[in-house]
Amino acid sequence: MTRRTIRGRARLPSALLLLVLVSAVLLACPLPSFPLLGVGPATATGPGAQPAPGSRVGVVVDRLEPAAPQPTDTLEVTGTVLNRAAERFDVVEISLHLGAPVAGRTSLAGLRNRFPAQPLASVPVPLGGGVLEPGAQVPFTLSEPVATLLTRGRGVYPLQVTVTGRTSEGLRDLGTADTFLPYVPAAGTSAAADATADPISALSTSPLDVAWLLPLTDRPRLAADGGLVDDELATSLTDGGPLADTLGAAAALPAGTVVVDPALLQAVRTMATGPYQVGIGPAGAPRPASADARVWLARLATLAGANGRLDLAAPAFADADLEALLHGGRFDLATRTLTRSRAGVRELLGRDPSPELAVPAGGRLDRTEADFAAAAGAGHVLVAPDAVSGPGRLPASPRALAPVIPDPALQRLLDDGPTAAPSPRLAEQAVLAELAEAYLTPRPSGPLVLAPSRNWQPSADWATHLASLTSRYGWMRPVGLPDVLNGSTAAARRAGTATARATGAETEPGLVDRVSAVLVDTDGFAAALPRGQTITRPVVDTALSALSADLVGDPAAAEARRTSAVAGLDALRHSVRAVASREITLTSRNGRIPVTLENNLPVTADVTLRLTSLDRSRVQSDTSVTRSIQPGQKVQVEVAVRATSAGTFPIRLALTTPAGVPLSPPQQVLVRSTAAGIVAKGVTVAALAVLLLTVLGRGVRGVIRRRRKVGGGPPAPPPDRHDSSDTQPPVAA
């Protein structure tokens, strides 16, 4: 072994030690990013670096104007920076970063999922004097001429508001807010006419038709006593609540469609008229009439009523689970929910909803429901974006249904609502950017449908501001339902496959049967009332709401609605009753039982009182009396009864409709009879006859004797005497 080899081996531990030290240093210091080498984003220093997950600083943008600027505008961004860390940061600056326009809607969706750092676009300015204390909230304002930003022509630009500062690790990105800046050149500008300014094709001369289908729907809240099951609806109708905001969005549109559930309309009217009870079970103090509900209902009637500018569509009443009803063969109940829906909208808004558009639960339907919708007069159906295999028609008999499919990307953004971005304002900007990109890229014929899902939850005028954005710019045009239907029909070129809801996500068949029984009983009771009466409506509506698809995942709530309907029907039945003494005495074989018929309902009731005997061998009565009783009136009637023997016997009084449907549970009356029976009467008569004959016989004999004495006739022969010689021996002398 040579000396050089020995020396090399001797230096080996030193080399290993040096390697360990270098590795430790590299691990302690973050590596820079090398995008060209495929290295992923790291926490590199300098403006524009991608912040680490769980940013130490939050950037909340509450104002970004103009939302879709022109080159002559000045972009202004304001908001607040919040230090979430327990560390003080120095040399804190804030700046704008802007990337190149995205290449299509697919790239835009990819940016939302992973937003890389963008190049610096403005001079960084100090924030809060350059120091950010732990927990500090510092407002900021950034402004920049748009001409210096939109240098690559029309398109949707990725925009970032980035905060940097010095930490214990060095200069770092502390936090960022990601959004988009759409640039659609105004008609007539050079940028609008120049098709070579960017790779996007020349702009269409026609605006993008945007069709809003706004859901005015809610979880069923009707109770059978005419009140509501809870107080949550009141919050939704106040300023900033979801339903108030959705209606505000409708008011901001020159044209559009509202999808209204009449079960919600009934609940709002209950609140608007007041007072009303809240809760299922023992009633507490009634709530007074709600001014918010009254204003909301009046505003809706102005927008979508007989003279309103908005179009109307409606689901089945309370968004009934039509699939479950149809799969169970209950076409009668499915038809009833549709009929009740249309009647409810007509009653409260003075206008019928469009029969052309079917609105299935959850935006999904199978072939059976498609056939049912077509038979009911629908030519189109609003379906979820993933409910058909592609654009086309849903085959159904007797005619095909054309699907109205909301834009999937926009529906996700709308459903996510104000929380889809770091701030509600940036959530609006994301929707506007998607609309701009849809306008700037080739698009299919027909309007772009914006249809948030049922029970949409916007808030604080978020939806209102968003709808106004779609009406503000000339490159968008809000349209109504006729344009939607015509567009979907024109686009239906090939067959699509409808998709139903997942197996098991249907109303339980037993509940359907129980609800059906309640409806049958309610209809039977209504037969005793005038046509067109409404006092049974709360019972019917509450029973139907138990079939809502909203309650499929909450069977206890569905059963509570059905139970409420049963209790409501019982209360109505007990308002019409027959009152009689529990025990009545008859002093003869034939008698009459007095009965008072009471009607405590606000409408006239036609009733029939039937008296039946439980022991026909001793008491006989098959009498029935029919009366028409006015509201709040008491009528006295007498029912004939016949007792065949003395004693106490039960009879039954039943109050029914003229058709024989029971109105209330029958009641039992005891009849006490003191009249003698036929055998007893025969014995008594025979005894009296014998006694009478005996008395008459003695009287006749006495008269005959007196007559003989008075007339002097021969004396009566002496009484018979026996000869003593025959009966006694001679007496001795």
Beta-strand relationship, 357-358 and 380-382? parallel
Beta-strand relationship, 208-216 and 448-450? parallel
* Nearest alpha-carbon partner for 585 in 639, 635, 646, 638: 646
Under 8 Å CB-to-CB from 152, ≥6 apart: which residues? 100, 101, 197, 198
Ordered alpha helix ranges (H), 115-258? 190-193, 232-237, 242-251
Count other C-beta atoms under 10 Å from residue 561's C-beta.
Answer: 28
Residues 595 and 639 sit within 8 Å (Cβ to Cβ) = yes
Residue 191: per-residue pLDDT: 54
In the numeric block, the tokens 């103009």 are attached to 66
Residue 20: per-residue pLDDT: 38
Distance between CA atoms of residues 494 and 492, nearest Å: 6
CA 91 to chain centre: 54
Count other C-beta atoms under 10 Å from residue 331's C-beta.
Answer: 14
Residue 392: per-residue pLDDT: 56
Token readout for 517 is 């029984």
Helix (H, G, I), strand (E, B), or coil: what is residue 463? Answer: helix
Distance between CA atoms of residues 649 and 672, nearest Å: 6
| Mean pLDDT score, 460-472 | 93
| Mean pLDDT score, 583-609 | 84
Question: With pLDDT > 90 as the criterion, what percentage of the chain qualifies?
Answer: 57
Which range has the worst mean pLDDT, 103-117, 380-394, 546-560?
A: 380-394
Residues 372 and 360 sit within 8 Å (Cβ to Cβ) = no
Under 8 Å CB-to-CB from 373, ≥6 apart: which residues? 358, 360, 365, 381, 396, 401
Between 546 and 709, whose confidence is greater?
546
DSSP-derived secondary structure letter, 31:
P
DSSP-derived secondary structure letter, 394:
B
In angstroms, the Cα distances linking 583 to 214, 655, 721 are: 64, 18, 72
Residue 386: per-residue pLDDT: 80
Ordered alpha helix ranges (H), 105-197? 105-113, 190-193
User: pLDDT tier at 197 (50, 70, 90 boundaries)?
Assistant: very low
pLDDT tens string 505-537: 789 999 999 999 999 999 999 999 999 899 999
Q: Is 491 exposed, middle or buried (0-12, 13-18, 19+ CB in 10 A)?
A: middle
Residue 579: per-residue pLDDT: 86
Does position 113 have pLDDT exceeding 90, yes or no? Answer: no
Beta-strand relationship, 619-620 and 590-599? unpaired
Does position 702 have pLDDT exceeding 80, yes or no? Answer: no
Q: Is 315 exposed, middle or buried (0-12, 13-18, 19+ CB in 10 A)?
A: buried
In the numeric block, the tokens 């509506």 are attached to 541
Between 472 and 622, whose confidence is greater?
472
Under 8 Å CB-to-CB from 168, ≥6 apart: which residues? 87
| Mean pLDDT score, 271-281 | 88
φ, ψ of residue 410 to 5 degrees: the values are -70, -35
Residue 722: per-residue pLDDT: 47
Does position 721 have pLDDT exceeding 70, yes or no? Answer: no
pLDDT tens string 216-267: 999 999 999 999 999 999 999 999 999 999 999 999 999 999 999 999 999 9
Beta-strand relationship, 208-216 and 311-313? unpaired
Residue 590: per-residue pLDDT: 74
Count other C-beta atoms under 10 Å from residue 493's C-beta.
Answer: 9
Residues 656 and 610 sit within 8 Å (Cβ to Cβ) = yes
Residue 396: per-residue pLDDT: 55
Distance between CA atoms of residues 511 and 142, nearest Å: 60
| Mean pLDDT score, 81-86 | 90
Residue 524: per-residue pLDDT: 92
Residue 143: per-residue pLDDT: 96
Helix (H, G, I), strand (E, B), or coil: what is residue 95? Answer: strand
Does position 6 have pLDDT exceeding 60, yes or no? Answer: no
Between 689 and 492, whose confidence is greater?
689
Distance between CA atoms of residues 410 and 432, nearest Å: 9
CA 286 to chain centre: 22
Distance between CA atoms of residues 508 and 487, nearest Å: 38
Residues 600 and 632 sit within 8 Å (Cβ to Cβ) = yes
Residues 543 and 561 sit within 8 Å (Cβ to Cβ) = yes
Does position 175 have pLDDT exceeding 60, yes or no? Answer: yes
Which range has the worst mean pLDDT, 300-304, 527-531, 705-709, 724-728?
A: 724-728
Burial 697-733 (b: 16+ CB within 10 A, else e): eeeeeeeeeeeeeeeeeeeeeeeeeeeeeeeeeeeee
- Annotate 47-78 with three-state secondary structure: CCCCCCCCCCEEEEEEEEECCCCCCCCEEEEE
Concatenate the DSSP letters of all residues of 645-678 into one string. Answer: SSEEEEEEEEEE-TTS-BSS--EEEEEEE----H
Burial 370-388 (b: 16+ CB within 10 A, else e): bbbbbeeebbbbbbbbebb
Max avg pLDDT among 20-34, 158-172, 393-407: 158-172
Taking only Cα atoms into account, the Rg of the chain, rounded to an integer number of angstroms, comes to 46
Residue 283: per-residue pLDDT: 61
Residue 352: per-residue pLDDT: 95
Distance between CA atoms of residues 367 and 376, nearest Å: 14
In angstroms, the Cα distances linking 264 to 24, 30, 583 are: 66, 57, 50
Report the amino acid identity of residue 601: L
pLDDT tens string 299-337: 999 999 999 999 999 999 999 999 999 999 999 999 999
Longest dimension (CA), the chain: 207
pTM score of the predicted model: 0.79
* Nearest alpha-carbon partner for 407 in 635, 216, 211, 164: 211
Partners of 83 in the beta sheet?
Answer: 57
Max avg pLDDT among 80-94, 607-621, 716-730: 80-94
Calculate ∠ Cα 476-478-480, nearest 5°: 150
Does position 599 have pLDDT exceeding 80, yes or no? Answer: yes
Does position 13 have pLDDT exceeding 50, yes or no? Answer: no
Residue 704: per-residue pLDDT: 77
Residues 621 and 613 sit within 8 Å (Cβ to Cβ) = yes
Distance between CA atoms of residues 610 and 48, nearest Å: 90
* Nearest alpha-carbon partner for 264 in 246, 249, 282, 283: 246
Between 665 and 388, whose confidence is greater?
665
Average pLDDT, the chain: 82
Distance between CA atoms of residues 50 and 42, nearest Å: 7
Distance between CA atoms of residues 98 and 80, nearest Å: 20
- Strands (E) in 241-327, as ranges, are 257-260, 311-313
